[in-house]
Amino acid sequence: MGNVHLTVRLRPTRFGFLVAPGDMKALDAVFRLCACLWGGKYNPIIPVFANRPSWWSRHGREGETAAQIVDGYLDYFEPDVLVETASGQADGLGYATDRVISVERLVPPAERLLDGYSESHGLGVGSLYRHLFEKEFQFARRLPRKVVRVKAGDASLEPMAACIFGGFPREGAFHELEAMFDEVFAPEALTLDAGLAADIFSNNWTNPLHVGHDGLEVRYGSWNDPAIFVFDASRPSDLIDYWNLRAGVAPVVPVPLQFADELSEFAREFVRRNHRPLPHNQHGVMIRPRVMFARSIPSDDVRPLFERHFRVEVEGANAVQDWYPPLWRRSSEIAVAPTRPTVTAATSEHHLDLRGDETSLQFDCPVPEFADGFGGRSRWAHAVRMDDWTFSDRYATTYPDGYRDPKRPNFGGALGEVLTTSEGFVTLADYSIRRQFWQLETNASAMATWLRERSVAAELSGSGRATRQIIETLGSLRGVSAVADAGVVQLLNGMARRPISRSMEHHQFRNRVRDAMADRLWGRGAATTLIEKGAVELGLEVRCDKCGGWGWYPLDGLGACLRCIQCLKGFGFPMLDPGAKGSARWAYRVVGPFAQPDYAQGGYAAALSIRFFADVLRSSPAPGLTWSAGQELALADGDRIEADFLLWYRRGEMFGHRSRTELVLGEAKSFGHDAFGVDDVARMRRLALAFPGSVLVFSTMKAAGELTKGEIARLGGIARWGRHWDARRRRTRAPVVLLTATELFAEHSLSRAWEAAGGEHARLVGPAYVRPDNLRVLADLTQQLYLGLEPYHAAVERRWARRRSAGEAADRPEGDGGSARLQ
């Protein structure tokens, strides 16, 4: 019994506009459409091109291909719907066809407004205008808000004016919004020219683009110093960069080169005003406003322009940035990286009780208060965060990322498809239906369905069955902590191996478990957990008066006459002195999976490995995890391969950055000598090829010092193989993690366990930037600790040194997000 906690966030639909960087006409149309859509200011513009433009990198550094750049933009912004400004632009991007539309379908022409309205997408601002009029603008205000509509004096600058201040389409249904805007807000019409540029840019007057996000709360994931963005208003690539900076990183002050003279004093005053001590910082840290220069501005012109228009005579206040934040590149996750802002219209929270085998959830979602009951498609979005507070670890709450063409999850009765994104589970609303009906999946069924969709048949293996029973018996993955000690595991396995009676006198059992957990604050209740959860069963050991052998009898098997389990003869219960130690004693016997020999067929090691990822490898908040015990996998090519455990792992959010889900495939061993053999390594390599990008985990309950030279050599070989750089995916092929007794038997925190181990463990985990819950970092650290491999970044630098000395040019690996420190 427990509950599932849901946080439901209402936000505008996020449209991703595909635009060729040189197509100013299409770009101008996109700017005007976004001013007519609710939250349109935060719709990204995805530049699409067949070849990487020469201006893409100011410093000429080779990097991603054109396809990788487009993919990177998509992964950063995760658009709900793609909008093509030219036919075929979305081909090959992997989006479901029903979530790719032409710019013409986004808004129907005026003559089709009535009969074709149901085919439009998004939520237009017309109803928002009416709502604001009724709530605010029909009344006289003591301090009226100044509303403006800005048009460029020069026709060539009209796209720039629409980009910064908003504009309206010149035809079609949304063209009518211009007259509606004038009627509701009575704006002052301004002409953007040299005479008015300083007033228009220095005063943040309300304009059509502002109104479209009225009432939305926008939170950026990381702190950014204030910035000025200097750009050429005639270059569409610069307008795209400015738009995406504002929509995806942080607000920036625009300064077009065409008005640099007029805006020079405004820009200098902006720098002076914002160069001040960082609030609540006692170390003298100052805020340093940056002057950013667009990529179209030649490098030789940057310094003269800065000196002429932006330099201030304040020590430490001048900062020049001539590079553009690489939104398309995975963040390093070592330093704080840009994150997409969170845009919120409303939120609701739900605590939904689940009883017994109940898996259905019903909850209400907020809707825009100004929206009509019916309309077009994908009108707004709900982002749902789900936390399983049943503490049973039974339900799948973490899934592989699938914002482009999701297959899983569908949650049974969910209205429309569910997108698995960095925000959580996203649904797009076509109507003002508030109530959602979701059917949760168990971990096992979710994983099995996902495998089946990839033409992989899966069947629970014998060891997998033992693993699942151990976890279910102990109640949860946290309950597995009761066996997170070598002494306890050896005790239980020793009882299971006894040839006749798998029992132990009750005082002795509790004392042995207590002694094993004596130095563990979180493990002192292990004996109670094992007893209450049913890992052991209480009964009576009675001595046979015929053969003198001892036998264990359950409580419901006691009677006046007993049958000896050794000589098979009947004998009477010791009635005269039942408490005599020489004739009867209370004892616990291992039952279920705990009664299986060979360390529950490897079930202890696998259960402890899964528990490691769920409860030990964590920061704040806890990671998301969906798990499956060992499976026999029948691959599409006919191979049958066993994996001891499978996981979908998503590490906890940090500084607004929510990492993507990793597929983890595990091989678990107990205490055997030279246990990781050639076949085990070959099997895991085959799995890595079948599931590209997965993380391979080799885990053992042995101490690191007990690994044989053969094991270290074999595991080192596959670790080096896994470090191979996959240029297409821009990450290493298959990170290899090695877990030993230090990790599997850690009390509750990997970092503390390594600190307690001292030596190299403590040194590696010491720096604050080290995040072992990043599996690629964990792989690098454990390979250094247990396999003697050099740090991954050192291997990369060494390879590059050889290439430089040989005069070779190559694409330098960026690791997981731009740092060679990560795999």
pLDDT tens digits, 590-645: 999 999 999 999 999 999 999 999 999 876 566 789 999 999 999 988 889 999 99
Boundary residue ending a domain (548, 572, 599)? 599
Please indicate, yes or no, whether residues 628 and 736 belong to a single structural domain of this protein. Answer: yes
pLDDT at 755 over 60: yes
Q: What is the pLDDT of residue 110?
A: 58
Omega before 304 cis (within 30°)? Answer: no
For the beta carbon of residue 768, count every other beta carbon within 10 angstroms: 5
Contacts of 532 (CB under 8 A, 6+ apart): none
pLDDT tens digits, 490-509: 999 999 998 777 899 999 99
Q: What is the pLDDT of residue 278?
A: 82
Please indicate, yes or no, whether residues 594 and 690 belong to a single structural domain of this protein. Answer: no
CA distance 421 to 384: 10
C-alpha angle 295/297/302, rounded to 5°? Answer: 110
Q: Is the C-alpha dihedral spanning 553, 557, 558, 563 positive or negative? A: negative
Biggest alpha carbon–alpha carbon distance for the chain: 114
DSSP 275-286: -SBPTT-SS--B
For the beta carbon of residue 348, count every other beta carbon within 10 angstroms: 15
Is 522 contained in some domain? yes
Please indicate, yes or no, whether residues 656 and 550 belong to a single structural domain of this protein. Answer: no
Compute the radius of gyration of the chain from its Cα atoms: 32
CA distance 457 to 54: 48
DSSP 148-176: EEEEESSGGGHHHHHHHH----SSSGGGH
Domain count, the chain: 2
Please indicate, yes or no, whether residues 607 and 591 belong to a single structural domain of this protein. Answer: no
Please indicate, yes or no, whether residues 605 and 737 belong to a single structural domain of this protein. Answer: yes
Boundary residue ending a domain (581, 599, 617)? 599
Please indicate, yes or no, whether residues 589 and 639 belong to a single structural domain of this protein. Answer: no
For the beta carbon of residue 319, count every other beta carbon within 10 angstroms: 16
Domain range for 580 is 462-599
Q: Is the C-alpha dihedral spanning 453, 454, 457, 460 positive or negative? A: negative
CA distance 450 to 396: 12
Q: What is the pLDDT of residue 807?
A: 64
Average pLDDT over residues 753-776: 92
Mean residue pLDDT across the chain: 88
CB 2, CB 391: distance < 8 Å: yes
Query: Secondary structure of the chain: what % helix, strand, coil (to 5)?
Result: 35, 20, 40
The β-bridge partners of 4 are 352, 388
Please indicate, yes or no, whether residues 588 and 698 belong to a single structural domain of this protein. Answer: no
Please indicate, yes or no, whether residues 556 and 677 belong to a single structural domain of this protein. Answer: no
CA distance 66 to 78: 18
Please indicate, yes or no, whether residues 590 and 610 belong to a single structural domain of this protein. Answer: no
Q: What is the pLDDT of residue 647?
A: 96
Boundary residue ending a domain (599, 630, 663)? 599
pLDDT at 655 over 70: no
Q: Which pTM was predicted?
A: 0.89
CB 163, CB 43: distance < 8 Å: no
Is 268 contained in some domain? no
Average pLDDT over residues 27-48: 96
Closest CA to 105 of 87, 128, 129: 87
CA distance 490 to 599: 8
Closest CA to 571 of 581, 586, 561: 561
Is 226 contained in some domain? no
Is 573 contained in some domain? yes
> Where do runs of H (alpha helix) occur along 212-330?
236-248, 260-274, 299-309
Is 697 contained in some domain? yes
- In 654-784, the DSSP E strands lie at 662-669, 695-700, 725-726, 731-732, 736-739
Is 301 contained in some domain? no
pLDDT tens digits, 512-565: 999 999 887 767 789 999 999 999 999 999 999 889 888 999 998 899 999 998
Closest CA to 405 of 60, 648, 133, 78: 78
Of 309 and 796, more confident? 309
SS3 label, residue 246: helix
pLDDT tens digits, 54-78: 889 887 666 788 999 999 999 999 9
Please indicate, yes or no, whether residues 650 and 782 belong to a single structural domain of this protein. Answer: yes
pLDDT tens digits, 688-719: 999 999 999 999 999 999 999 999 999 999 99
SS3 label, residue 122: coil
Out of 13-17, 97-101, 349-353, 818-822, the most confident range is: 13-17
CA distance 184 to 134: 9
Average pLDDT over residues 663-669: 97
Average pLDDT over residues 662-678: 95
Structure tokens at 702: 């042995």
817 pLDDT band (50/70/90 cuts)? Answer: very low
**Angle between helices 775-787 and 709-722 in degrees, nearest 10:** 150
pLDDT tens digits, 715-751: 999 999 999 988 777 789 999 999 999 999 998 899 9
Average pLDDT over residues 427-452: 87
CA distance 116 to 513: 72
Pairing between strand 570-572 and 561-563?
antiparallel
Please indicate, yes or no, whether residues 774 and 699 belong to a single structural domain of this protein. Answer: yes
How far CA 179 is from CA of 106, 120, 167, 680, 748, in Å, comes to 20, 21, 12, 71, 63
Please indicate, yes or no, whether residues 754 and 797 belong to a single structural domain of this protein. Answer: yes
Average pLDDT over residues 125-153: 85
Average pLDDT over residues 206-211: 94
Is 452 contained in some domain? no
112 pLDDT band (50/70/90 cuts)? Answer: very low
Is 403 contained in some domain? no
Structure tokens at 348: 């609701």
Residues counted in the chain = 823
Closest CA to 423 of 97, 217, 773, 660: 660
Average pLDDT over residues 97-105: 91
CB 717, CB 681: distance < 8 Å: yes
814 pLDDT band (50/70/90 cuts)? Answer: very low
Residue type, 82: L
Structure tokens at 381: 């979005």
For the beta carbon of residue 624, count every other beta carbon within 10 angstroms: 24
